């Protein structure tokens, strides 16, 4: 008997698929199309287990759909622009382009042995000029349609390196290289007008039934639609207005001060003549630009000395500058109601400002001390003295009444606002798609002509000093103005890499087209029927892609039907691994590679290691498992089988060596089983043919259900079960052969190479990938009898076996005649008797 040799059969079947061009996607109107896409990878140079899991899931879907008669598009590409290439160039020398293309070649080589059903003829990288040139064309189209504009925005500024920093380059408020305290600084930058589509992007979420509810909710919160009151406070000194926006106008009577952002025009005006305020603002602008940094920074305030008049009470309120007020949201000015907002309360306690209660809990009317009273807007509360005449009302009722009251009085109006900001796409970096515009002294900002695209990145750059090398390139910047022809200068900012990934799915439908898309191809292949990727992309990437699909439709690059580009979304979990650590003499952790550890001890020294379970794989923690070494020792099918088994796809899966070995053992077992059945006398009869086939049909039903509902782990559990049944079966050769062939088909999406080999071994016709998916015979699934548990007061005490179609009344009779029930009742009548047909009996005593 020969042994299961993954290396041998995997190479063989990959060659067979390649020879027949099985995975080449060609338009075919006679079949339903199916577009399955996994989020494309960043070419770091090494694939990791997370990739294996992500692409295997997509591959299962793709292969399953092929078997069910679909014309499948399953492409692959590279999200190839971005900072790591520049960082590598700075750290180890070399050029971002060479580094990136080298990594792509390496990763492709590592990925191909997985046997994925990918149409490699459609492959591209976002750093290919053919791709980013079309992206530049899209930018110009968006510009023409008014979907792109320029305005000022804040960036992280490193005052020592004199360069813009990404958020991830700010560590604890300091630049990662220089260690200097980071400042927020304004630059003129390009923006996509995504906020114009806030309402559309929000309301269309309702139609995304096949997206996880949590992702829709996260997007909804991110867009952040709010209804509030906009009105002005009048300054007592010169009568000028300070416009504020509030979502809690009902608390207006509890206002204790008006707060403005350090970047509010009034604050900027005042700091010119107020050195103390100027110093305060410098301090307030320190730190990173992230919302997290701003929200968690200590709350600081500065009393401007100005006063404003409360529009209702006429009281004077002080005007403070506060570091936690964002210029980018609302009007950059608020009024604070400390009694009903914890942040305002902390601020007022710190600066000794008054706290005025505007409502109390119905049953507990006590003034606020050090904890703000913030009930849900739907709770009824008791109002201290509400101007709109309310006594007991919910917050929402009071908000509505206040807005109506303000509009009637003419001093304010109800306004709908969105938290969603326009998408800043400018990056002061080299390794990205150049923004195709030219700055001309006479004509201003001029779009490049489409015939001059792509505006290619120059190769001759140096990355040895911080900053954007395009800025200091001697000649690349110089060009002729596309409008007047005079000497002009190129824009040196490049695009955010999110732009690259916001339309690649559309490009895959016609990757070599001379325009961004080919409308016929896009109409045929779009939408993506199943998109698969990490939950970390739940908001930005997916929201930006939804915006792009709409903007591309406006420009005629996508059909109307493709404006929600992803019909179904699945977010998969990570692959984790234990971390093995010891401590050095100072107590700092020292990490060890999995291969250096056995039985909880270091192999070299025998020292015991601490084990941290279920940690995200990371190089610095040394808990990475390299798919390449797994494939070379066990084969791709084992790796694929393992990452699908055990954990549900949306959750993290922990890689364990024993689990991988067990997967391999199981596949060997299946292979041996195939060998054994193949050697049976074709005429041999046995016992239990019917039972085996019954189990086979149940396996077909359950495995299919698992694949269709992303329950791959459940499918695999069923396949284990069915394999065990088959291994123990004494059935005749015909039934066993049918069973193993069906097993091969059911395993084919997960372990395609092994499945092909078994299929061929058992004389299956053609390739298993081309064989139609088996269909469960309903008649074989019907069970004659069911086992019903009998509960007494909700606890299982006995069980009975009854015909599946037995009436409720008869089941009741049998249940009451049960020994355990009679004993428990002890002659009394049951209080209640619940019979759920086919499920359970509960006797309440």
| Token pair for 617 | 């794989």
Q: Using CA atoms, how far apart are residues 565 and 815, in angstroms rounded to an integer? A: 55
Name which of 386 and 490 has its Cβ closer to RNA. Answer: 490
Q: What angle, 0 to 180 degrees and rounded to 10, lies between the N-to-C axes of helices 49-67 and 689-708?
A: 120
From CA 612, how far away is CA 609, in angstroms rounded? Answer: 10
- Is 122 or 666 the residue whose CB approaches RNA more closely? 666
Q: Smaller CB distance to RNA: residue 20 or 188?
A: 188
- Exposed, middle or buried, 526 (CB in 10 Å: 0-12/13-18/19+)? buried
Distance CA 353, CA 351 (A): 6
Going through 617-703 in order, the beta strands assigned E by DSSP cover 653-654
411, with CB counted inside 10 A (0-12, 13-18, 19+), is: middle
CB-nearer residue toward RNA: 311 or 721:
721
Least spacing, CB of residue 188 vs RNA, in Å: 10
Count CB-CB contacts under 10 A for residue 275. 9
CB 281 within 8 A of CB 310: no
Q: Is there a binding annotation on residue 619?
A: yes
Q: How far is the CB of 61 from RNA (least distance, A)?
A: 18
Closest to 235 (Cα-Cα) out of 310, 320, 337, 334: 310
Strand order in the sheet with 33-38: 71-73, 33-38, 530-534, 569-572
Closest to RNA by CB, 168 vs 778, is 168
- Kindly list the strands in the beta sheet with 359-361, ordered across the sheet, starting from the edge strand earlier in the chain: 359-361, 380-383, 392-394
Angle between helices 733-747 and 712-728 (to 10 degrees): 160
Nearer to RNA, 117 or 156 (CB): 156
Closest to 45 in 3D by CA, of 87, 98, 107, 99: 107
Q: Is the dihedral of CA 400, 404, 407, 410 positive or negative?
A: negative
What residue spans of 290-394 are helical by DSSP H? 291-296, 342-351
| Residue spans of alpha helices (H) in 207-357 | 213-223, 265-271, 275-284, 291-296, 342-351
Task: Compute the least distance from the CB of residue 593 to RNA, in Å.
Answer: 20
| Least gap, CB of 312 to RNA (angstroms) | 28
Output phi, psi for 313, to 5 deg. Answer: -85, -20
- Rounded distance between C-alpha atoms, residue 336 and residue 321, angstroms: 12
* Residue 96: CB atoms within 10 Å: 28
Nearer to RNA, 134 or 791 (CB): 791
- CA 338 to CA 341: how far, in whole Å? 5
The nearer residue to RNA, 66 or 155, going by C-beta atoms, is 155
DSSP 591-631: EE-GGGEETTEETTT--B-EEEEEEEP-GGGT----HHHHH
Tokens found for residue 614 = 């279920």
Cβ pair 86, 133 in contact under 8 A = no
Q: Closest distance between RNA and the C-beta of residue 291, in Å?
A: 4
If the CB atoms of residues 415 and 615 are measured against RNA, the closer one turns out to be 615
Question: What is the DSSP code (8-state) at residue 406?
Answer: H
Nearer to RNA, 71 or 169 (CB): 169
Paired strand residues for 531: 37, 569
Instruction: Name the strand (E) or helix (H) holding 318.
Output: strand 316-322
3-state secondary structure of 307: strand
Neighbours of 594 (CB within 10 A): 17
**How far apart are CB 694 and RNA at their closest, in Å?**
16
End-to-end CA separation in angstroms for the chain: 63
Tokens of 465: 């000093």
Q: Residue 17 or 720: which CB sits closer to RNA?
A: 720
**Min. distance of Cβ 803 from RNA in angstroms?**
15
Q: Residue 224 or residue 764: which is nearer to RNA going by CB?
A: 224
CA angle 83-85-86, nearest 5°?
65
Contacts of 203 (CB under 8 A, 6+ apart): none
Distances (CA, A) of 397 to 334, 389, 587: 21, 12, 58
Contact in structure between 492 and 477 (CB atoms under 8 Å): yes
Residue whose C-alpha is closest to residue 430's, from 465, 464, 471, 475: 471
Nearer to RNA, 136 or 195 (CB): 195
Closer residue to RNA in complex, CB, 298/763: 298
Cβ distance to RNA smaller for residue 202 or 390: 202
CA distances in angstroms from 425 to 153, 220, 544, listed in the order given: 11, 22, 11
Measured CA to CA, the distance from residue 256 to residue 317 in angstroms comes to: 6
List, as residue ranges, the binding site for ATP: 619
List, as residue ranges, the binding site: 619
């Amino acid at each position: 008997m020969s042994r299961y040799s993954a290396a041998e059969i995997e190479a063989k079947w990959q060659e067979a698929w390649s020879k027949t061009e099985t995975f080449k996607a060609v338009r075919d109107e006679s079949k339903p199309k199916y577009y399955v896409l996994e989020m494309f990878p960043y070419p770091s140079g090494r694939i990791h287990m997370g990739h294996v899991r992500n692409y295997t899931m997509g591959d299962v879907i793709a292969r399953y759909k092929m078997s069910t008669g679909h014309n499948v598009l399953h492409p692959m590409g590279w999200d190839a622009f971005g900072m790591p290439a520049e960082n590598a160039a700075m750290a180890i020398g070399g050029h971002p382009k060479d580094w990136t293309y080298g990594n792509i070649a390496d990763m492709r080589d590592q990925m191909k042995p997985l046997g994925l059903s990918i149409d490699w003829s459609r492959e591209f990288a976002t750093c290919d000029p053919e791709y980013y040139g079309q992206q530049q064309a899209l930018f110009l189209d968006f510009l023409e349609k008014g979907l792109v504009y320029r305005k000022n925005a804040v960036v992280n500024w490193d005052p020592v390196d004199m360069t813009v920093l990404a958020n991830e380059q700010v560590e604890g408020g300091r630049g990662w290289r220089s260690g200097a305290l980071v400042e927020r600084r304004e630059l003129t930058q390009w923006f996509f007008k995504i906020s114009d589509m806030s309402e559309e992007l929000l309301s269309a979420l309702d139609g995304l039934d096949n997206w996880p509810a949590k992702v829709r909710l996260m997007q909804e919160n991110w867009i952040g639609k709010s209804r509030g009151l906009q009105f002005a406070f009048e300054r007592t000194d010169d009568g000028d207005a300070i416009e504020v926006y509030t979502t809690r106008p009902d608390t207006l009577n509890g206002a204790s001060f008006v707060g403005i952002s350090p970047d509010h025009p009034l604050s900027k005006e005042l700091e010119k003549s107020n050195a103390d305020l100027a110093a305060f603002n410098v301090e307030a602008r320190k730190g990173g630009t992230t919302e997290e940094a701003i929200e968690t920074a200590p709350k600081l305030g500065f009393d401007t000395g100005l006063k404003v008049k409360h529009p209702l009470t006429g009281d004077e309120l002080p005007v403070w500058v506060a570091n936690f007020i964002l210029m980018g949201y609302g009007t950059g000015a608020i009024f604070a109601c400390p009694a009903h907002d914890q942040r305002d309360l902390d601020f007022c306690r710190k600066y000794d400002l008054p706290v005025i209660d505007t409502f109390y809990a119905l049953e507990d009317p006590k003034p606020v001390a050090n904890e703000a009273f913030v009930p849900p807007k739907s709770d009824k509360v008791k109002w201290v003295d509400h101007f709109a005449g309310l006594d007991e009302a919910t917050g929402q009722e009071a908000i509505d009444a206040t807005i109506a009251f303000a509009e009637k009085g003419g001093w304010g109006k109800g306004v709908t606002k969105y938290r969603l900001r326009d998408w800043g796409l400018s990056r002061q970096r080299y390794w990205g798609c150049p923004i195709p515009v030219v700055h001309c002294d006479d004509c201003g900002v001029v779009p490049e002509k489409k015939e001059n695209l792509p505006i290619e990145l120059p190769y001759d750059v140096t990355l040895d000093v911080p900053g954007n090398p395009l800025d200091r390139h001697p000649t690349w910047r110089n060009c002729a103005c596309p409008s007047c022809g005079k000497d002009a200068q190129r824009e040196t900012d490049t695009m955010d890499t999110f732009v690259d990934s916001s339309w690649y799915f559309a490009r895959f439908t016609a990757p070599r087209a001379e325009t961004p898309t080919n409308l016929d191809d896009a109409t045929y292949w779009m939408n993506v029927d199943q998109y698969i990727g990490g939950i970390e992309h739940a908001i930005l990437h997916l929201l930006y892609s939804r915006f792009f699909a709409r903007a591309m439709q406006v420009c005629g690059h996508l059909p109307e039907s493709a404006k929600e580009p992803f019909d179904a979304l699945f977010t998969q979990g990570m692959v984790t691994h234990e971390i093995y650590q010891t401590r050095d003499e100072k107590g700092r952790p020292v990490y060890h590679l999995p291969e250096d550890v056995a039985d909880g001890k270091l192999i070299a020294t025998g020292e015991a290691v601490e084990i941290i379970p279920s940690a995200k794989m990371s190089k610095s923690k040394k808990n990475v498992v390299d798919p390449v070494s797994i494939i070379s020792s066990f084969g791709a099918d084992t790796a694929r089988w393992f990452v699908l088994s055990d954990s549900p796809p949306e959750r993290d899966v922990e890689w364990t060596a024993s689990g991988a070995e067990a997967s391999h053992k199981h596949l060997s077992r299946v292979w041996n089983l195939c060998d054994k059945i193949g050697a049976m006398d074709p005429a041999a009869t046995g016992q239990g043919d019917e039972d085996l086939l019954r189990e086979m049909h149940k396996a077909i039903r359950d495995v299919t259900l698992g694949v269709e509902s992303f329950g791959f782990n459940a499918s695999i559990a069923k396949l284990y079960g069915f394999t065990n049944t088959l291994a123990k079966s004494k059935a005749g050769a015909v039934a066993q052969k049918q069973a193993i062939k069906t097993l091969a088909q059911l395993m084919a999406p997960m372990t395609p190479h092994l499945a092909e080999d078994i299929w061929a071994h058992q004389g299956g016709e053609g390739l298993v990938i081309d064989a139609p998916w088996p269909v469960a015979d309903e008649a074989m699934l019907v069970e004659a009898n069911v086992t019903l548990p009998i509960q007494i007061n909700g606890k299982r005490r006995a069980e009975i076996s009854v015909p599946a179609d037995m009436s409720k009344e008869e089941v009741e009779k049998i249940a009451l005649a049960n020994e355990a029930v009679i004993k428990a009742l002890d002659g009394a009548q049951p209080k209640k008797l619940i019979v759920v047909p086919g499920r359970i009996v509960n006797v309440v005593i």
